[in-house]
Amino acid sequence: MRTTLTVIKADIGAVGGHLRPSEAVVERVREHVEREGEGLVLDAHVSYTGDDIAILMSHARGAGDPDVHRLAWEAFRAGTEVAKAQGLYGAGQDLLRDAFAGNVRGLGPAVAELEFDERPNEPFLLFVADKTEPGSYNLPLYLAFADPMHCPGLMLSPNMAKGFSFVIMDVNHTEGDRVVELNAPEDLYDIAALLRDTHRFVVEKIYSRTTGEPCVAVSTTRLHNIAGKYVGKDDPVMLVRVQSQFPATGEVIAPFALAHYVSGDLRGSHNVALMPVPSNTPVAYFDGPSLVSCLAFCVHEGKLTEPVDVFAHPFWDTIRQKAADKTLEMRRQGFVGPAMVGFEELEYGGITERLKKLDERFVVREPQPQPQPQPETTP
């Protein structure tokens, strides 16, 4: 069967600041998807991570299907009504347009989709991250799909011997999708040269070079490019097919044990360690820390199994401790140097106005007269 997995996520309001959606909002979104999705999608799962609600849908209608996108859009609209009625903070904040235009792309919600011929056993992972940006997946994807130190399958499994191709998007280019396709392992240094810049170059898709099949899809939305102003971080979702001709679940999640530093904590402006957490975890410290959850499913003829909450395992307690330690260490440094994102990424306008005013107060010193060399005198 040709199956499509579509995950669409949005922040439509949260309790107590930007912490997590209320139970009533999540319930309203879930109800809407269940009721209105009848006969349209084959299965669905609704969860939250931090203040973002993710709607995962499996169906047979292909990527970018207007009715599937509309289902999620309308579910978020219904949830927003509840969020407004409850007075939640930032109610409807990611729904940037009033009218639905056939696809949620460009309207605010983030979307990732994979369309494929279902294998007899089709395991996949859903990642949802909060208080961070799509480029946060760059390093884990590089390590899982191009580095045998993290993915021994690259050298051990004949099914992966040819490596993977990376489609990388320049997310600063707003006039259209500007992408490049690079092959691992031959183009490894070129891939690394792009992926180091997590604000600009983002892995959008990964394909198996052995079978040509897609295995990774990442949402690449840049909210401030859509809205023209700061409206929150881009909190990315990702789908990854795993096992057999793709890396094993263990190989895909292994790089998250690094708890690498990412951008997007408090006011979208700070760099902290990405903490792997169970699904349905709120944020807490410093409006963060930046979080990522991972649910593992199998899909069969479009039906989803119950998920395994991967980062709920006790192993990840150690990593959470490490992430908290790394975050606290960085936070000790306040606003200086690598603790805060660079000027272009500071999406709150305050600092721009401040610097503009200060600019007028700068003076350029008149060049000081240089001391003239004295003629030598003989004693």
Of the residues 9, 18, 30, 331, which one makes contact with ligand F6R according to CB under 6 A: 18
From the list ligand F6R, Mg ion, none, pick the one residue 268 interacts with, judged by a Cβ distance below 5 to 8 Å according to partner type: ligand F6R
Cα→Cα distances 325→132, 283, 319, 322, 331, Å: 18, 16, 10, 5, 10
Which residue bears the tokens 């272009």?
344
Contacting residues toward Mg ion, per CB under 5 A: 11, 18, 51-52, 130, 232, 235
At its nearest, how many Å lie between Mg ion and the CB of residue 40? 27
Contacting ligand F6R within 34-63 (CB under 6 A): none
| Residue type present at position 244 | S
52 classed as catalytic: no
266 touches ligand F6R (CB under 6 A): yes
Question: Judged by CB, which is closer to Mg ion: 5, or 128?
Answer: 128
137 classed as catalytic: no
Question: Judged by CB, which is closer to ligand F6R: 140, or 268?
Answer: 268
Q: Which of 9, 11, 187, 235 is catalytic?
A: 11
User: Angle at which helices 23-36 and 66-86 pack, to 10 degrees?
Assistant: 150
Binding span for ligand F6R by CB under 6 A among 175-183, 265-273, 323-331, 333-341? 265-273
Cα→Cα distances 85→22, 97, 108, 374, Å: 12, 20, 21, 84
Binding span for ligand F6R by CB under 6 A among 59-67, 96-104, 203-211, 260-268? 260-268
11 classed as catalytic: yes
Of the residues 233, 241, 326, 331, which one makes contact with ligand F6R according to CB under 6 A: 233
287 touches ligand F6R (CB under 6 A): yes
The residues that are catalytic are: 11, 230, 233
